[in-house]
Amino acid sequence: MKTIDYNPTGYPSDLTDTQWEEIAEYFPMGNMGKVHKRSLVEAVLYIVKTGCQWRLLPHDYPNWSTIKSFYYRAVESGAWEKAMHHMIKRTRKTQAAT
């Protein structure tokens, strides 16, 4: 299987390496992927954080239609909910420890 490079965008909504490692299992790369799943997840998080429309995503991210398609497939498969549930639990544990 070929390796797909991840190119960080540097936006505040980007995941840390640790955060990505914790949820990466919910978004396996597969054989046909041309875009790193982390880039797709971070693009959706950018939309959530900013309220941006799909077509107005910065060009640092993959094509908006690729991101939109990824998101709807992830929601349909349950992967998105599992990943976000994991991150919410992690955040609450971190906040409770401080």
Residue 6 inside a domain? The answer is no
Domain count, the chain: 1
pTM of the shown model: 0.86
Residue 5 inside a domain? The answer is no
Lowest mean pLDDT among 1-15, 16-30, 60-74: 1-15
Residue 76 inside a domain? The answer is yes
Residue 28 inside a domain? The answer is yes
Q: Which domain range does residue 89 map to? A: 17-97
The confidence score (pLDDT) of residue 29 equals 80
For the segment 28-72, what is each residue's pLDDT rounded down to a tens digit? 887 667 889 999 999 999 999 999 999 999 999 999 999 999 999
Q: Give the pLDDT band (50/70/90) at residue 95.
A: low
Q: How many residues does the chain have?
A: 98
Residue 87 inside a domain? The answer is yes
Mean pLDDT across the chain, nearest whole number?
89
Residue 11 inside a domain? The answer is no
Judging by beta carbons within 10 Å of its beta carbon (0-12, 13-18, 19+), is residue 33 exposed, middle or buried? Answer: middle
